[in-house]
Chains A and B, each alone.
Chain A
Amino acid sequence: MPKLSKNGELLADNWQVLAKDATPAANELGAGNWLVHINWYLQNQEALADASNVSVWLDSDDEATSVADLVNRLPVIGVNFPVFTDGRGFSIGRTIRERYKFAGELRAIGNFMQDQLFYLKRCGFDAFVISDAANVESMAQSLRDFSDFYQAAVDQPLPLFRRRAQ
């Protein structure tokens, strides 16, 4: 599936998501890049220590703390939105960025919706896995819905009251 950047550009994506219930042995992962569920990754961590083609995804009921010790080695962290009404991923994403200082790609996967892109971007997501049928132009517009905001978040660490005061 294609991937949208936080700037609204369509990018090719070469990471595949390994489902939570898939449990191959670490050496059975095929060629290419894999996002595996955090639990599977932690169980196979030793075998995967040097694997640059394996990174993780978190479900909405996983804890952001589970990646605390991994942020320097993972190139990508995915956060799943099982349904768009499940807003836990917003807190998970923001925590991974702000508390654990993850500097790699934070991508939203699953069933988030177009009109959440702006909030996702504010919470630190910089890539969004979208469907082939998505209207990219319209999505890019949604990413730009607001040009300023009141509260601090990942994209603007200073709340408006600190910038107003300047």
Chain B
Amino acid sequence: MTGITGPDSVIFTARGNELFMYVYDEYDHKIIGERVAQFRRQTERYLAGEIPPEQFLPLRLQNGLYVQRLAPMLRIAVPYGMLNSRQLRKLAHITRYYDKGYCHVTTRQNIQLNWPQLDEVPDILAELAEVEMHAVQTSGNCIRNVTTDQFAGVAPDEIIDPRPYCEIIRQWSTFHPEFAFLPRKFKIAVAGTLSDRAAIFFHDIGLQLVKNSAGEIGFKVLVGGGLGRTPVIGSVIREFLPEQDILTYLEAILRIYNLHGRRDNKFKARIKILVRALGPSVFAEMVEQEWQNLRESASYLPKEEIERARSFFPEHAYERGLDDVDTMAPVNALRGENREFGNWLSHNVQPHKVPGYRAVTLSLKFTGVPPGDLTDRQLEIIADLADRYSFGEVRTTHNQNMVLADVPAAQLFNLWQELRQAGFATANIGTLTDIICCPGGDFCSLANAKSIPIAEAIQREFDDLDYLYDLGHIELNISGCMNACGHHHIGNIGILGVDKKGEEFYQVQLGGNSGYNAALGEVLGPSFSREDMPKIIRKIINVYVENREGEEDFLNTFTRIGMEPFKERVYAKA
């Protein structure tokens, strides 16, 4: 279905069981439809020479469209990682019809197409609008897609479900007239759990949902975190912001940044540079003053609006009263006769707040396939599996995997068999080969070096699953340049592609941590050639294995023994 030209022709299709996520009303349809029509006219004006390229640049970026090394690249928003099966099928159709039959899950939970045609992008956006999707503000110097924990709403350690707040922030930030030409891009993440799975310390604004002593809901507010060429851990500027104040307070932060952030040097334009230059307490004071003018404005959130947002994320129709141990007993019994299944249960299946249910991570880290890549057919298979096993719902993760969040435990073996056939059952979640990796020099025009072949070489070097399990939890992240899309600073092992006189080299960092105990990795030393990388990682792992005490994981061993033993081994003269 192409050629939709205006808001009048937006199609309302019958809904299936997708009553678990935000549902557009007439306003949302109108606004997103008008956006599609706007970009169609802008593209036509550009192709007719009526918009100069430098002016078209921010317009296409704020519609998700980059021009990359080989072709345009379209980044489709997946708001806080939630998708339904109907949307997955639409994405499958789009990758097949407009692209080369595959797409890519990004580290910000979005989905990228690598080969769309510029003049067809308005048609793609119109198709997305049919299923309540868009590519709004997925790039450009504006407020980007808000991200959260992939286990939101089902995690046993969740204090408050972050998704209603994510949706409120999504609406507020969409086409915000004051903040569409910021000094630089602006990323917000929300976490509502005891352990941070949304990397809130490394966002321009990180919000942690908390309850105060009176039991009221609010946010701990962090600003100025980020990766990129100047990695910084965010600073807390407010310990408790009541939930109803969130939009007015965000508006105050953004206004201070918009007015005072540096615009003379794009490498110093992120809010982290401003916060560091002023000092977090001075910045906090400026925000506080600005906020006094805004806090009683109409953007103060009524309780009813929070309730309305919450109503879109009800619990599924779970079978209640299941005994978790009883339900899992026959499933666990299969471990003995089927080790592969047992491994998968141990690594790719996560706990669920409802007894008798589990969240299942689909590994998109199959050796030989770029991390995060999916074919059109695989998208359809996931849609079918979601319908049959998980209420028609799927999540993308910032680790570039996908999640079926609500699987009945009794169905795990059946699901595993189907996942195995489809190539999603690699039992490596949380291990060394569950690598976060940017598209790198194979696709991205910013990259200094390729990253996908490095990921593959390391996956091939460590192909023994038992050995991987023995190594335990290790995060290995690869970025093809210092823009750090592969989050190399916060990998326990981080790899950064660098360019030395036209040749690709790789720098290694150790000790990064993306959780609430946030830490940035330290550089090991001089960089290595691509061919050397697998054996360098092997040496690093050997140092860990030889030094670990008991069940200690890589990060704890590193923290205890420090950089020196790793340095000595890796740079030892042969």
Q: Which residues of A contact B (CB under 8 A)?
A: 84-88, 90-92, 94-95, 98-99, 113-116, 118-120, 122-123, 135, 138, 141, 145-153, 157-162, 164-165
**In the complex, which range does the number of interface residues on chain B fall in?**
35 or more
Q: Which residues of B contact A (CB under 8 A)?
A: 25, 27, 30-31, 34-35, 37-38, 41-42, 45, 50-51, 55, 58-59, 141, 168, 171-172, 174-183, 247, 255, 258-259, 263, 293, 297-299, 301-302, 304-305, 308
Instruction: Specify which of A90, A148, A165 is in contact with B302 (CB 8 Å cutoff).
Output: A165
Beta-carbon contact of B45 and A138 below 8 Å: yes
Beta-carbon contact of A90 and B27 below 8 Å: no
Instruction: Specify which of A86, A148, A160 is in contact with B181 (CB 8 Å cutoff).
Output: A86
Beta-carbon contact of B31 and A119 below 8 Å: no
Beta-carbon contact of B299 and A152 below 8 Å: yes
Instruction: Specify which of B174, B182, B183 is in contact with A150 (CB 8 Å cutoff).
Output: B174
**In the complex, which residues of chain B have a beta carbon less than 8 angstroms from the beta carbon of A98?**
297
**In the complex, which residues of chain A have a beta carbon less than 8 angstroms from the beta carbon of B293?**
99
Least Cβ–Cβ distance between B172 and chain A, in angstroms:
5
With the chains together, A115 CA to B41 CA distance in Å?
Answer: 11
Beta-carbon contact of A148 and B27 below 8 Å: yes
Beta-carbon contact of A91 and B298 below 8 Å: no
Beta-carbon contact of A115 and B51 below 8 Å: yes
Beta-carbon contact of A90 and B299 below 8 Å: no
Instruction: Specify which of B30, B42, B178 is in contact with A90 (CB 8 Å cutoff).
Output: B178
Contact A87:B176 (CB < 8 A) given known A138-B45, A146-B31, A148-B31: no
With the chains together, A95 CA to B294 CA distance in Å?
Answer: 10
Instruction: Specify which of A94, A148, A151, A165 is in contact with B305 (CB 8 Å cutoff).
Output: A165
With the chains together, A152 CA to B171 CA distance in Å?
Answer: 11
Give chain B's interface secondary structure class: helix
Instruction: Specify which of A84, A91, A147 is in contact with B30 (CB 8 Å cutoff).
Output: A147
Instruction: Specify which of B172, B177, B263 is in contact with A122 (CB 8 Å cutoff).
Output: B177
Beta-carbon contact of B258 and A135 below 8 Å: no
Least Cβ–Cβ distance between B475 and chain A, in angstroms:
36
Contact A119:B180 (CB < 8 A) given known A145-B34, A146-B31: yes
Least Cβ–Cβ distance between A155 and chain B, in angstroms:
9
**In the complex, which residues of chain A have a beta carbon less than 8 angstroms from the beta carbon of B259?**
88, 91-92
Instruction: Specify which of A99, A122, A147, A157 is in contact with B298 (CB 8 Å cutoff).
Output: A157
With the chains together, A47 CA to B462 CA distance in Å?
Answer: 80
Instruction: Specify which of A88, A118, A141 is in contact with B177 (CB 8 Å cutoff).
Output: A118
Q: With A161-B301, A162-B305 given, can you name 20 additional A-B contacts, CB distance below 8 Å?
A: A87-B181, A90-B181, A98-B297, A99-B293, A114-B51, A114-B55, A115-B42, A115-B55, A119-B175, A119-B180, A147-B30, A149-B177, A150-B171, A151-B247, A151-B299, A152-B297, A153-B178, A159-B299, A164-B308, A165-B304
